[in-house]
Amino acid sequence: MTNQMITARGLTKTFRAKGQPVEAVRDVDLAVEAGELVAFLGPNGAGKSTTLRMLTTLLPPTAGEATVAGCDIRLDPAGVRRRIGYVGQGDSGGHSQRVRDELHAQGAFYGLGRRETRVRAAELVESLELGQVANRQVQSLSGGQKRRVDIALGLLHRPELLFLDEPSTGLDPHSRANLWEHIIELRRTTGTTIFLTTHYLDEADELAERVMVMDHGRVIADDTAPALKQQLGGDRVTLAFGSASDAAAAASHVGGEVHGAVVTVTAPDGDRALPRWIRGLAADGLEVTAATHRAPTLDDVFLALTGRSLREEGATPGSDEAASDEPAAA
Ligand SMILES: Nc1ncnc2c1ncn2[C@@H]1O[C@H](COP(=O)(O)OP(=O)(O)OP(=O)(O)O)[C@@H](O)[C@H]1O
């Protein structure tokens, strides 16, 4: 039997802005099992934060139902809040207290005894490597250190489930990698279920066990990153020719799209097809002057699903795995 940590059916949120309805989340179904690390990926305005805010009882749904950590979000919001940790987008930068005092205050907020709070705070200071800064004011810390303090605050009461809303946004690549190491280590040692939102394709791809892609308020894909890429991405092969007319003639053999003198083809086994195509085209007098092959990315998945690129929307700031489609010399 599976142990569901989050289930949602028909979750919907419609805001009103300037008298007009804004359908932020539309009829979303979710199922997250205990212990999973799930990334909710999508462009700005897709509805990720609104979904998280409903699941964490910060926002009432317009329609639909959800159970989080065994509690109904409408009937037992206090039960949900006791069992979850939530780290929103706003960071702890404004906090003027020292890190350790901030953690102790959080323990008191959750009704933990003084001794238990101190033990737990010390554990988190150690596991999130905050020892060096534990006596500094939170507002004096770096962005990455502040996010680690936020995560420690979210985990103080030992929640079964941790929601993180864009934990790494605004961090430099080194701090992002460091934060992720901590998140993964925490998950490994505590088994806490983690449900997070991100814009970063590379993070979702490499680190999450399951990726849910959201667009215009709907979940449009839900699987492991390799499965999504296999089903929807396909390898990207580009072939360059001496002229646009050669490219057009080649496309009639191999399919794909023509941009000037370059043909781009999406194929499940592009690496094996590429030498075959080059030989076949040469036999027809069409010389490939340059070629590339690359494995599919989650952006290809998003493109296949929506016809748009997440990158074009500027939704992947700092994404450092941007793959070029410019062909190199063959
Ligand atoms: N309080 C509100 N009133 C009106 N519209 C809202 C409100 N909150 C969110 N929206 C709208 O709902 C849609 C979804 O917003 P949401 O913040 O959930 O998206 P998101 O995927 O989390 O985006 P981001 O990645 O930028 O945080 C957007 O069109 C947003 O403008």
Residue nearest to ligand 1 atom 1, measured at CA: 15
Q: Is the CB of 109 under 6 A from ligand 1?
A: no
The DSSP annotation for 79-144 comes to HHHHHEEEE-SS-GGG--SBHHHHHHHHHHHTT--HHHHHHHHHHHHHHTT-GGGTTSBGGGS-HH
Question: Sign of torsion, CA 240 242 247 250?
Answer: negative
37 neighbors 205 (Cβ within 8 angstroms): no
Q: What's the CA-to-centroid distance between 151 and ligand 1, angstroms?
A: 23
Q: Which of 31, 177, 152 is nearest to 101 (CA)?
A: 152
Q: What is the pLDDT of residues 22-52, one digit of tens each?
A: 999 999 999 999 999 999 998 888 999 999 9
Q: Is the CB of 70 under 6 A from ligand 1?
A: no
The residue to which tokens 């449900």 are assigned: 195
199 neighbors 315 (Cβ within 8 angstroms): yes
Report the Cα 176 to chain-centroid distance in Å. Answer: 13
Atom number, ligand 1, closest to the C-alpha of residue 199? 25
Q: Which residues of 276-308 are buried (b: 16+ CB within 10 A; e: fewer)?
A: ebbeebeeeebebeebbbeebbbbbbbbbebee
Phi-psi label, residue 119: left if phi above 0, alpha if psi -120 to 50, beta otherwise = alpha
pTM of the model: 0.82
329 compared with 165, residue with greater pLDDT: 165
Least confident residue range of 36-45, 162-171, 205-214: 162-171
178 compared with 1, residue with greater pLDDT: 178
Q: What's the CA-to-centroid distance between 9 and ligand 1, angstroms?
A: 20
318 compared with 52, residue with greater pLDDT: 52
Q: What's the CA-to-centroid distance between 121 and ligand 1, angstroms?
A: 33
Residue nearest to ligand 1 atom 12, measured at CA: 24
Output the six-digit token pair for 93. 């930068």
Q: What is the pLDDT of residue 222?
A: 94
CATH code assigned to 4-229: 3.40.50.300
Please report, to the nearest 10 degrees, the dihedral formed by the alpha carbons of residues 77, 83, 89, 93 taken in order.
120
Q: What is the pLDDT of residue 329?
A: 42
Single-letter amino acid, residue 253: H
Atom number, ligand 1, closest to the C-alpha of residue 315? 25
Output the six-digit token pair for 107. 């323990």
57 neighbors 71 (Cβ within 8 angstroms): no
Tally of CA atoms within 13 A in the half-sphere of 254 that contains its CB: 34
Atom number, ligand 1, closest to the C-alpha of residue 25? 14
| pLDDT (mean) for 249-256 | 92
| pLDDT exceeds cutoff 80 at 177 | yes
Q: What is the mean pLDDT of the chain?
A: 87
C-alpha–C-alpha distance, residues 215 and 109, integer Å? 36
C-alpha–C-alpha distance, residues 197 and 216, integer Å? 15
Output the six-digit token pair for 273. 């097809």
160 phi and psi angles, rounded to 5 deg: -75, -25
Atom number, ligand 1, closest to the C-alpha of residue 13? 12
241 compared with 124, residue with greater pLDDT: 241
Helix (H, G, I), strand (E, B) or coil at 69: coil
| pLDDT exceeds cutoff 80 at 162 | yes
Tally of CA atoms within 13 A in the half-sphere of 187 that contains its CB: 22
Task: Specify the domain boundaries for CATH 3.40.50.300 within the chain.
Answer: 4-229
Q: What is the pLDDT of residue 173?
A: 82
Q: What is the pLDDT of residues 50-96, one digit of tens each?
A: 999 999 999 999 999 999 999 999 999 999 999 999 888 765 556 67
315 compared with 90, residue with greater pLDDT: 90
Q: Helix H segments across the chain? A: 48-55, 77-83, 99-109, 114-127, 143-155, 173-190, 201-207, 225-228, 244-254, 270-283, 298-306
Q: What's the CA-to-centroid distance between 142 and ligand 1, angstroms?
A: 27
| pLDDT (mean) for 100-128 | 89
Q: How confident is the model at residue 186 (pLDDT cuts 50, 70, 90)?
A: confident
Residues sharing a CB contact under 8 Å with residue 181, sequence separation 6 or more, in sequence order: none
Q: Is the CB of 45 under 6 A from ligand 1?
A: yes
